[in-house]
Structure 1
Amino acid sequence: MTPSFIGPYRVVRPLGEGGQGVVYLATAPDGRPVAVKTLREGFAGDDRFAKEIAAARRVEPFCIAQVLDASLSGRPYIVTEYVEGPSLQEAGRHLGADLQRLAISTATALAAIHRAGVVHRDFKPANVLLGRDGPRVIDFGIARATGSALTVTSSIVGTPSYMAPEQVAGAEVGPAADVFAWAGVMVFAATGTPPFGRGSLPEVIRRVQYGEPLLDQVPDALRPIVAGCLDKDPARRPTMQDVLFQLIGAQPPARGAPAGRRRRPALLAGAAALAV
């Protein structure tokens, strides 16, 4: 049953739900629309919600749905700005300049997220909202601070079609997993299909770990960048900042990384102008 109010926020309608909770469109006391995420009863004592709030507040607000309010007492909730527009999952394929803009905007967002010391860990088409003023990354429900301890039993969270091999295997997950996920999301944006196809969960997981991604329909200029990000070895993937430099045609600053990590795929011609 949809509540009438969550704290001081008047509920308009549900926006969506997942395993952890439900998100509602609501109206703030000052009349502006907001998104309110509540936890399910079974998650009420889960500290992941507090981590989600802390993670989102550390990130520059230009690239995510900004946190406006939160409550951890009673039934916890978090309030963010309401981004009017479909998710990338709903919008489907992007072509030409639209795909270039999407690639640059989402790479910028993830680079900012990593700069804040946060790993998103569930970057996927449903977590990219296409607002009027550009994409916003949402849902830090399984985000984790860079360098936090991670155990095999607690680590298999996320969406398998966009999860990195190390994440599927329950190994330590860092920013490189978001790089892998970003590339998978770009494959979906370009082709309408996840990078390792569709099928049962075991089939998809096996392809993520051992199969080759489906890149034939990805535009020629974007394909080598995406391919480098989908390397099975996280140490060989570029950083998100390097990806952004590649997309806008700039030379990333040398940081003494291993040779495999410093490979230079073809750049997106003209993308720099589209980023302005």
Structure 2
Amino acid sequence: MQPLEPEDPRTLGDYRLLRRLGAGGMGRVYLARSAGGRTVAVKVVHPQHAVDEEFRVRFRREVAAARRVGGAWTAPVLDADTDGPVPWVATGYVAGPSLTQAVAGHGALPEAAVRVLGAGLGEALRHVHGLGLVHRDVKPSNVLLTLDGPRLIDFGIARAMEGTASLTSTGVSVGSPGYMAPEQILGERVTGAADVFALGAVLAYAATGRAPFPGDSSAALLYHVVHGEPRLDGLPDGLREPVQAGLA
């Protein structure tokens, strides 16, 4: 967490912002407190995206998808303003690091922990796919680790399974290099299988501390995913079969 900067808002809706939790290409996330004393996370869209109607469509879709998935598998949506001058969404605060933070701080997870992680994410994806949604951006930074299991966050590019169009004109990458399935990279029809591929890559990362598809640039990563083989050296033998099955 970081203290608020002078340019940060102090309140949004009924929420008082307390600290910065993080930032990305889409916006900033703050720790906040409701008028009733509940601790929440508030995601605020960057001003340059707030004026882009196509980006607002993506943000509205994220909020709608997260509402459908529910709090058992993601941070529950508590409140949102997707039409105001600065769109924002308030979710329950998930007390736990991302998988990226956990591996960076403590190294690869033990095999037993990876199995628990895979079981929890598998259940989450089964629920998401059962709703007719595809997450499309399963990656270590979108997996939060909590005492009662993992949470999937950032449904900004989730789509109905029958959907094929992509939102790309805003300059926001639809998916993450190194965790996108080949069919997603090639612009082909994306189904829940793409999330299963990403799950295999995430578990390989959790078990080895390295992404399974190396590359010095986004282009190199994407090429490797489509044309190369995953780097699975260091993967425990007991995890090789489920990881390879996901990546297949």
Q: Which TM-score band applies after superposition, normalised by the shorter structure?
A: 0.7 to 0.9
Per-residue deviation, 1:8: 1.2
TM-score normalized with structure 2 length: 0.88
Are the counterparts in 1 of residues 111 and 207 from structure 2 also a CA contact under 8 Å? no
Q: Secondary structure at the match of 2:95?
A: coil
Residues of 2 paired with 1:31 and 1:197: CA distance?
45
Per-residue deviation, 1:219: 1.9
In the other structure, the counterpart of 1:114 is 129
> Aligned AA for 2:75?
A
Greater mean alpha carbon deviation, residues 218-227 or residues 122-131 = 218-227
> Aligned AA for 1:86?
P
Kindly indicate whether residue 221 of structure 2 is the aligned counterpart of residue 215 of structure 1: no
Residues of 1 paired with 2:167 and 2:124: CA distance?
28
Greater mean alpha carbon deviation, residues 103-112 or residues 217-226 = 217-226
Q: What is the aligned-residue identity percentage?
A: 48
Equivalent in 99, 102, 105 of residue 120 of structure 2: 105
Are the counterparts in 1 of residues 144 and 150 from structure 2 also a CA contact under 8 Å? yes
Equivalent in 66, 76, 83 of residue 73 of structure 1: 83
Kindly indicate whether residue 71 of structure 2 is the aligned counterpart of residue 61 of structure 1: yes
Kindly indicate whether residue 215 of structure 2 is the aligned counterpart of residue 230 of structure 1: no
Kindly indicate whether residue 25 of structure 2 is the aligned counterpart of residue 19 of structure 1: yes
TM-score normalized with structure 1 length: 0.79
Q: Secondary structure at the match of 1:12?
A: strand
Per-residue deviation, 1:70: 1.0
Are the counterparts in 1 of residues 164 and 190 from structure 2 also a CA contact under 8 Å? no
Gaps of 5+ in 2: 1-6
In the other structure, the counterpart of 2:3 is none
Are the counterparts in 2 of residues 156 and 169 from structure 1 also a CA contact under 8 Å? no
Are the counterparts in 2 of residues 156 and 168 from structure 1 also a CA contact under 8 Å? no
Per-residue deviation, 1:94: 0.8
Per-residue deviation, 1:180: 0.7
Per-residue deviation, 1:61: 2.2
Q: Secondary structure at the match of 1:111?
A: helix
> Aligned AA for 1:102?
L
Are the counterparts in 1 of residues 76 and 92 from structure 2 also a CA contact under 8 Å? yes
How many residue pairs match? The answer is 231
Provide the alpha-carbon RMSD of the alignment.
Answer: 1.7
Q: Secondary structure at the match of 1:162?
A: coil
Kindly indicate whether residue 160 of structure 2 is the aligned counterpart of residue 145 of structure 1: yes
1:71–1:156 CA distance, 2 compared to 1 (3 A): closer
Q: Secondary structure at the match of 1:47?
A: helix
The one-character-per-residue Cα deviations of 1:115-173 (angstroms, maximum 9, x if unpaired) are 11111111100011112222111111111122113259669511101111111122222
In the other structure, the counterpart of 2:60 is 50
In the other structure, the counterpart of 1:89 is 100
Are the counterparts in 1 of residues 66 and 77 from structure 2 also a CA contact under 8 Å? yes
In the other structure, the counterpart of 2:34 is 28
> Aligned AA for 1:77?
W
Are the counterparts in 2 of residues 11 and 24 from structure 1 also a CA contact under 8 Å? yes
1:96–1:230 CA distance, 2 compared to 1 (3 A): closer
> Aligned AA for 1:230?
L
Gaps of 5+ in 1: 232-276
